[in-house]
Amino acid sequence: MRHSGFAALLTAAALVFGSGAAGLTESSSAVEVYAAETYTFTDIDGNTVTTGSGKPTAVVFGRPGCWNSRQTLTYLAQTSWISQSEVTVIYADTDGNTAEDVRTFREETGGCEYIHYCTDPSYNSLMWSFVKGEYTVTCPVIVYFDGEGNQLGVTQALQMPNDIYAALMGNNDTDSAKNYYFNDIDGNMVSTANGKPTAVVFGSPTCGNARMTLSELSEADWVKNGDAAIIYADYDEDSAETVAQFKSEVGCEEMHFCVESFYLNLMWSFVDEQYYETGILCPLIVYFDAAGNQFDVTQGYQAADDIREKLLGSAPLVISTDEKLGDLDSDGAVNASDAADLLIALAKMGAGEDNPLTAAQQKSADVDGSGVADAADATLILQYAAYFGAGGSGSLEEFIKQG
């Protein structure tokens, strides 16, 4: 089954405040935490809501005439976590529309009772106070606060619910793995950074390839044993009942079957632009390692053994950002002490003891890429340490390439 036609949706024009072109900028994705300053909003139903009231809060500054604002709010209204009282979402109308107009807008974007729709002439100026130094912005401008009211960051333009939730939960560091959250039909939330290798299978009950792929996965011992997480994301906006029936036909208890209106857009975010015209083959499977790093994407039917090989066999070993190549002790430097750690470990194993190195340290120690950490790697580390100590420069990888 081939799915196409998303190009027009992705390229829909964004409404720009001010003049000139605008988009998401480096400053608008900052993750620095600013000192708490509370902001109070009164929604169209007369309820008062304040940032810093104990829950992470997203304030969505937008307008009814903005396609990006409409889509962002519509997706938020249809996501599962919005009703779980973990977070607060506020829509602040920057056009100063009447309460009746904003009430109509609320109905048009899902009529969600868990989103506070507010309007006031001051909201346009308030929005600009969060984007100082910029002359144009793309709406919606979303400002994120933690439960104490500290500002976490600002984004512009269309945002997926996953990204908004991740930002509110504190996982908006652009240097870390991007975390995607899914609510399954059984009420469980699972993310792609769950400590296990994870495959997200975007598909539809009407797709034969998806059925075959999921059926094989449901019979695999490594899935039933929980060695990896399998998430089915229904992009057809089927009902929970339909997805539950689909799970009973092709799934197992350990697999997470999920459905949200934004999964179609989310699926397309994982493919290159070349597929906007040609379409993609269902199911689209996105692969993540145990730390939530995306490392592969496949299309069409996949055998369970092939998926297992990607997730548990050839999936890249996760190394902490503090454990670079050759730096076994994670002190930020590659030197003789790292070589000594490796040689001591090799001596212990030679004496019949268990390998004292962690999996990440073994990966870090395999500096020559042979697949085994051995004395040759220790020699390379010592050579590099001597070279660097004599005034040489560059990384260990560069030193090895130079021969």
Residue 398: partners with Cβ closer than 8 Å, 6 or more residues away: none
Residue 297: both structure tokens together: 């994407």
- Would you call 209 helix, strand, or coil by DSSP? helix
381-403 CB burial, b ≥16 within 10 A, e <16: bbebbeebeeeeeeebeebbeee
Q: Supply the pLDDT for residue 99.
A: 96
Q: Supply the pLDDT for residue 35.
A: 53
- Judge if 11-168 and 182-313 fold alike in CATH terms: yes
Which CATH fold would you assign to the domain 11-168? Glutaredoxin (3.40.30)
Measured on CA atoms in the order 390, 396, 401, 403, is the torsion positive or negative? Answer: positive
Please name which of 75, 152, 85, 133 lies closest in space to residue 143, comparing C-alpha atoms: 152
**Model-level pTM?**
0.53
**CB-count exposure of residue 235 (10 Å: 0-12, 13-18, 19+):** buried
pLDDT greater than 80 at residue 23: no
Q: Supply the pLDDT for residue 77.
A: 87
Confidence of residue 395 (pLDDT cuts 50, 70, 90): confident
Residue type, 8: A
Q: Supply the pLDDT for residue 251.
A: 94
Residue 145 · residue 152 · CB < 8 Å: yes
Q: What is the pLDDT of residues 284-326, one digit of tens each?
A: 999 999 888 889 999 999 999 999 999 998 544 443 334 478 8
If one counts every other C-beta atom within 10 angstroms of the C-beta of residue 380, the result is 18
Residue 79 · residue 262 · CB < 8 Å: yes
Whole-angstrom Cα distance, residue 179 to residue 164?
11
Tell me which residue has tokens 């469980």: 188
Tell me which residue has tokens 């960051």: 153
Higher pLDDT, 356 or 179: 356
Residue 225 · residue 167 · CB < 8 Å: no
Ramachandran angles phi, psi of 212, nearest 5°: -65, -45
Average pLDDT over residues 164-188: 73
If one counts every other C-beta atom within 10 angstroms of the C-beta of residue 114, the result is 15
Residue 367: partners with Cβ closer than 8 Å, 6 or more residues away: 325, 326, 377, 380, 381, 396, 400
Please name which of 63, 103, 54, 56 lies closest in space to residue 82, comparing C-alpha atoms: 56
Report CA-CA distances (Å) from 29 to 151, 155, 189: 12, 5, 25
Domain boundaries, the chain: 11-168, 182-313, 336-402
Lowest average pLDDT, out of 81-90, 222-231, 238-247, goes to: 81-90
Half-sphere exposure of 210 (CA within 13 A, CB side): 29
Superfamily of domain 182-313: Glutaredoxin (3.40.30.10)
